Amino acid sequence: MQQQKSAAISAPDLKDMLTILRNLMESDDSDLRVWAKVQFKTAFKEYYAAHDEKKL
């Protein structure tokens, strides 16, 4: 279902960001995947906090 939503996105910048993130997370290099997760969580720290609060 998530992939169907991303396929409908028309904003080229967002589409490029999703492609890059998907490529990083599908890499065979586990160190690269860990690095990408840390970078993503650091860049979007406040969004992660808000997301975690909604889970509780």
Res 2: pLDDT: 47
Contact present, 41 and 48 (Cβ < 8 Å): yes
Contact (CB, 8 A) for 40 and 21:
yes
What element of type H or E holds 11?
A: none
pLDDT beyond 70 at 7: no
- Comparing C-alpha atoms, which of 27, 15, 13, 11 is closest to residue 3? 15
pLDDT in tens, 14-54: 889 999 999 999 999 999 999 999 999 999 999 988 888 88
* 34's tokens: 């860990």
Q: pLDDT class for 13, splitting at 50, 70, 90?
A: confident
CA–CA dist 18, 16 (Å, integer): 5
